[in-house]
Copies of this chain bind each other. A is one copy, B any other.
Amino acid sequence: MSLEAAIMGFLAEEPRSGYDLKTRCFQNQAGAFWTADQAQIYRTLERLQSSRMVSCTRRRQSGKPDRKIYRLTSAGETALAAWLASPSPITPPRDSFLLQVFFSADLADDRIVENLSARRQAHQSRLDELRSEVVAQAEQTLAPERTRILRAAAFDGAIARERASIDWLDDTIEAIKSGHLPAGQHRAAPIDSQLPETGSA
């Protein structure tokens, strides 16, 4: 549903081909909020066409294969407007990393810290990407200011969450490093050590 809406949102700006959507729209722009692989974009376009939300015209090109240019129909505009005004569903939580933390009592301290640090790295890269995307977006002075501000707000939302994750990771790493995490009495052998416990029990 969201992918349909996102595609309609981009087509509302201007008509585009599946290829445009894939390379231009879902890589930089909306890639921060929704990703879709090529196969799915094409299939969603077909579905939108068969439900009359978009229309399609073929454009010949010399040498390259034909482009199929999709444009939003008036039914599509209505559907897009309805989606924009409707509350978007709260997605059920699905965070495999927090799940790992939740279950990692049997993991040695330094292993836990490793995992947290790696995760920190990943969030940091994503934050950097988001920031550079904000800059790129701000430079596109062709779009009306209202559009630019709202898009910036969306990016800010994503950025705020990345920052929160990083801060939490820093705090947690710090807490473990300074020994606030008591050693466990392991059910069986500690996960990454064949040695018997020496002095921690």
Contact = CB atoms under 8 A, between A and B. Distances in A.
A99 interface: yes
Contacts of A103: 5-6, 9, 12, 80, 84
Interface string A108-140: 000110010011001000100000000000000
A182 B143 CA distance: 13
A168 B172 contact: no
Contacts of A33: 93-96, 98-99, 102
A7 to B, nearest CB: 11
Interface stretch (A15-23, A46-54, A149-157): A149-157
A164 interface: yes
B30 A102 contact: yes
A89 interface: yes
Nearest to A172: B153
A30 B182 CA distance: 22
Given A118-B87, A154-B102, A165-B157, A93 B34 contact: yes
Interface in A30-71: 30-35
A163 interface: yes
A88 interface: yes
Contacts of A146: 105, 181-184
6 contacts: A6-B99, A81-B191, A87-B119, A98-B154, A146-B183, A163-B164
A199 interface: no
Given A34-B93, A160-B168, A164-B160, A102 B151 contact: yes
Nearest to A156: B168
A85 B98 CA distance: 13
A93 B158 contact: yes
A115 B86 CA distance: 8
Contacts of A165: 157, 160-161
Contacts of A122: 90
